[in-house]
Chain A
Amino acid sequence: MRHLITATVNGRERELSVKSSQTLLDVLRDDLRLKGTHEGCSVGVCGSCTVLVDGKPVSSCLMLASNAEGRDVLTIESLARDGNLDPVQQAFLDRQAFQCGFCTPGMIMAVKGLLNENPKPDEAEVRDYLSGNICRCGTYVEVMAAIEDLTAKPQ
């Protein structure tokens, strides 16, 4: 069974025909070929599939695509504008807050979500919010430093 939905993906309104059993992640990767969103666990634990829906981070691997109807979906590909990185991406670069990079797009989107909800998080709030985004390579110290850079700067 298919569903015709309208959703805004990375700023562009799209009519999408999605299968009942497709997740948002499936649609992003397989249909829209937005491969920057990764699949690590498929069960909501790792966070490598994190995207923003109406500004809030979700595990796209567990969200039915049909529920994107009328929503605003942002993936990692939406961040850089005219060849300029988003401040969060830049802060990750400055702090070298990645190794293999597989968790990185999800981590960056989660940080976007965090700063949407709480522009000046303290360390405990950062840990609490991001603890569901798993980085096996070990970059938590640098991610925290990147966020510190971002929040220390006057906006």
Chain B
Amino acid sequence: MRNFDLLEPKTVTEACRMLDDGEDVRPVSGGTALLILVKQGLLRPRTLVNLKKLEGANAITRDEAGAVRIEAMATIHQVETSPVVREHLPVLAAACHQVANIRIRHLATIGGNLAHGDHQSDPPGVLVALDAEVELSGTRGTRAMKLADFLLGTYETALEPGEMVTAVTVPPVRGRLVSDYLKFTTGSSEERPCAGITALVRLEGDRPVEARLAVGAVAARPLLLCETDPTEGALPRMAERASEEIDPIPDLRGSAEYKRHLVRVLGRRALAAAWKEACP
């Protein structure tokens, strides 16, 4: 791997100052995406700012209102095994469990995953379905935005130079959430998702008040469809709509046409599974 310098800030303020120092500077968290790009010669950073040594930057907490906050340096494995996430956002735990392999999950961070903007990823779709927000910090302060607005396209995010992701938060859920995540790979079990489908049914009392379908890994950004006061009969139509609205990126795993077809099939299945659990 080509040489670079590694700066090691202890605080976010310090980190942002270091990041604000020109083109060739980049943050590195788990390094599982970035180091590959450097090894392959696709990136030539002069300086990397190591966020792994930021103090207390990996906590996962839930506030009184019920919002779950995951600091950016939490590893995918921490998210997957966090009691808070398992109890309150099991679909996120399930999706994170399906990321890569155990060794990568111990290194990779949720912040790095979202900041990387790789569309062939599991967590973004689920988090978009959960209406998550990202918190961004820079030398000019801190701002928050919807993850759906943060993810602009393949390897494209709303991050400004000198800015970093410091946390992702999932707002409180009204009522009860029943959810299902389907990761579909076309080849080996170890592949990136060809499609990552999240289905959510929100219940107030016993009444389903909302259904959501998020499609990740198919298009440049996750697609989210919501339906209020859903009925079982309307679910296939939702999957149909997703398959019509999505703009798939064709690749070796399949043509755009095949991926559209997958979205229809898997969308229907995920919604049906969530519905069955929500309204047995």
Contacts and interface: CB of A to CB of B under 8 A. Distances in A.
CB–CB under 8 A between A and B in the complex?
Answer: yes
Nearest to A67: B52
Contact of A132 (B1, B32, B104): B104
A50 B107 CA distance: 12
29 contacts: A1-B6, A3-B8, A20-B4, A21-B3, A21-B6, A23-B1, A23-B35, A44-B32, A44-B100, A45-B101, A47-B101, A50-B103, A57-B102, A57-B103, A57-B106, A59-B103, A62-B32, A62-B35, A62-B107, A64-B28, A64-B35, A64-B50, A66-B50, A67-B53, A113-B102, A132-B101, A132-B102, A132-B103, A132-B104
Interface residues of A, number: 30
Nearest to B5: A1
Interface in A91-148: 110, 113, 129, 131-134
B2 interface: yes
Q: Considering residues A23, A59, A133, A134, which has the most beta carbons from chain B within 10 angstroms of its beta carbon?
A: A59
Nearest to A54: B106
A42 interface: yes
Contacts of B103: 44, 47, 50, 57-59, 110, 132
A34 interface: no
B95 to A, nearest CB: 14
Contact of B6 (A20, A58, A134): A20
B39 A43 contact: yes
Nearest to A132: B101
A106 B53 CA distance: 27
Nearest to B48: A20
Nearest to B34: A62
A29 interface: no
B36 interface: yes
Given A1-B5, A129-B102, 13 more contacts: A21-B2, A23-B35, A44-B32, A44-B104, A56-B77, A62-B32, A64-B31, A64-B35, A110-B102, A131-B189, A132-B100, A132-B190, A134-B190
The DSSP consensus for interface residues of chain B is mixed
Nearest to B4: A21
Interface in A1-20: 1, 3, 19-20
B101 A64 contact: no
B190 A62 contact: no
